[in-house]
Amino acid sequence: MKTQQEIDYTRIADAIGFFRENFKAQPKLDEVAEHVNLSPFHFQRMFKDWAGVTQNNSCSI
């Protein structure tokens, strides 16, 4: 059984992969959150905690 930290890491890794695959389309927060099965609120909070930047800022890096 995975720990919550492992589950969260996998979700963020999946989200980053989704950004890479769809970078030209500049996916919206809702799209990425849906891809990793989280609400937009929880995804944004989790992404900021793990990546240190918001989802919008990560797309421009």
pTM: 0.79
Structure tokens at 27: 């996916």
pLDDT at site 55: 67
pLDDT at site 53: 73
As a whole number, mean pLDDT of residues 2-14 equals: 94
pLDDT (tens digit, 9 = 90+) per residue, 11-42?
A: 999 999 999 999 899 899 999 999 999 999 99
Q: Which of 29, 37, 30 is nearest to 11 (CA)?
A: 37
pLDDT at site 29: 92
Q: Identify how many contiguous H helices and E strands the chain contains and give both numbers.
A: 4, 0
Confidence of residue 61 (pLDDT cuts 50, 70, 90): very low
